[in-house]
Amino acid sequence: MTYTDWEIHGTLISSCNCAWGCPCQFNSLPTYGDCQALLGIEIEKGHFGDIKLDDLIFGFAVRWPGAVHEGDGEFIPVLDERASDEQRAALLKIVKGEESEPGATLFSVYGSTCSKVHDPVFAAIDYGCDVDGRVAHMSVPGMIDSKIGPITNATTGETQEVKILMPGGFEFREAQVASGTTKIMGVLEMEWELSHSHLANFHIGPHGPLN
């Protein structure tokens, strides 16, 4: 199958309800049985065909009643309100996995395991991500409030640097592990505190991560 030529280069933040480290990253079952997550992406440079996507922010909230691969998930895209109509259409095709090789990207994997996709939300998204510092935030008024910081040693209080290296990953090749507190309101109400997060430099196309 031929896919539209698209590419995204930027940063990614992910916050979920699993314990630090997230067993789902290693093909184990989620910490508490179900999976709830928020992902955000800032595009520093990107395109979808001839459509430029530079400087746009997008993401999605998603949950599954069990592990991701067991399916029956529920998904809501959140897109930058600054995007033009053609940019919105392009981002929706990307985020739903419609222009990805099956199983090659997070968009394909998550999209294919969700049986319900809610209408997208177009909003002002406040986003910041310092991958090496393991600090990030993402917020949408009345919908999303997520804050991420370094994991700290329970005894000394010192910050801990932990990385996940995944050469064959569909989301990233390398990510910094962090701790996140997230609240999502509206159609998908979810909340977790001091749970797993990871931050990554994000470079991806229809056939998977490129970095």
pLDDT score of 26 more than 90: no
pLDDT category, 149, cuts 50, 70, 90? very high
Do the beta carbons of residue 28 and residue 66 sit within 8 Å?
A: no
pLDDT score of 182 more than 90: yes
* Interacting residues of 90 by C-beta distance below 8 A, sequence separation 6+: 6, 48, 49, 51, 53
Residue with tokens 């090789």: 101
From CA 99, how far away is CA 63, in angstroms rounded?
22
**Residue 167 is which amino acid?**
P
- pLDDT for 172 equals 96
Residue with tokens 């929706």: 92
- pLDDT for 85 equals 98
pLDDT digits over 44-91, tens only?
A: 999 999 999 999 999 999 999 999 999 999 999 999 999 999 999 999
Mean pLDDT of 132-141: 98
For 51, phi and psi rounded to 5 degrees?
-90, 120
Do the beta carbons of residue 46 and residue 8 sit within 8 Å?
A: yes
Look up residue 32 and give its two tokens: 């508490």
For 113, phi and psi rounded to 5 degrees?
-105, 10
Mean pLDDT of 17-31: 92
- pLDDT for 66 equals 96
pLDDT score of 192 more than 90: yes
Q: Where are the domains of the chain?
A: 6-204
From CA 164, how far away is CA 25, in angstroms rounded?
9
- pLDDT for 27 equals 84
From CA 57, how far away is CA 79, in angstroms rounded?
7
pLDDT category, 23, cuts 50, 70, 90? confident
pLDDT score of 211 more than 80: no
- pLDDT for 93 equals 98
Q: Above pLDDT 90, what percent of the chain?
A: 96
| Contacts for 110-114: CB closer than 8 Å, 24+ residues apart | 110/60, 110/62, 110/68, 110/73, 110/75, 111/75, 113/64, 113/68, 113/69, 113/70, 113/71, 113/72, 113/73, 114/62, 114/64, 114/71, 114/72, 114/73, 114/74, 114/75
From CA 131, how far away is CA 141, in angstroms rounded?
24
Mean pLDDT of 133-151: 98
